[in-house]
Structure 1
Amino acid sequence: MIVSSFLTQYGLRIRTKEFESVSWDEFKSLIAGIDPETPLGRVVAIRAETDKNVIKNFNKDQKRIYNAWRNRKAETMPPATYEQEMKALEKMFADLCR
């Protein structure tokens, strides 16, 4: 998803020799700026959704993505950390959508 999102949004092919010169800080900035309409952005938006009415109207694939993320994260981290991580994701996308 990262590869296709970078190509979609930035026109960058990340599996090239030229991309090897991108610093970690620059890469993180590019990831943070991924638009919600890219493949990665759509998945992150589904995972971060909190509106119960929106969730209730997810299609089959959206529900699969949402539930898989919730179940995986819930199994591997304490509840307080889980809530903190979800709030961070929600903030990131709220900032991107401004």
Structure 2
Amino acid sequence: MGLSRLGAARVVGVDLSGASIAHAREIAESCAADIEYVEANVYDARSAVEGSFDLVYTSIGVLCWLPDIDAWGACRRLAAVPRRSVLHPRRSPDVHDRR
């Protein structure tokens, strides 16, 4: 949500849980945020989402649930535009967080 509110041209959320995707869509709609949501395993993100991205964001809370970090690393490298950074902040980017 924060990246969209900060002006990202395209924001796509990927989650394994259909219920989480539905809830995220409700929140995005209530905030008038233009965000695509895709229900998919993170390891299948490259085939589930078309296009390329300047940034791939993964919250730190996700990493502990992934049984194969190396496979996740390969997925994120494929999704990011070459030579662009991949960001893994401790917190979600939030337009209201001015710290």
Same fold (TM over 0.5): no
**Which has the larger Rg?**
1
For normalisation by structure 1, the TM-score amounts to 0.30
For normalisation by structure 2, the TM-score amounts to 0.30
Structure that is richer in strand per residue:
2
Q: Which has the higher contact order (CA 8 A, sep 6+)?
A: 2
Structure that is richer in helix per residue:
1
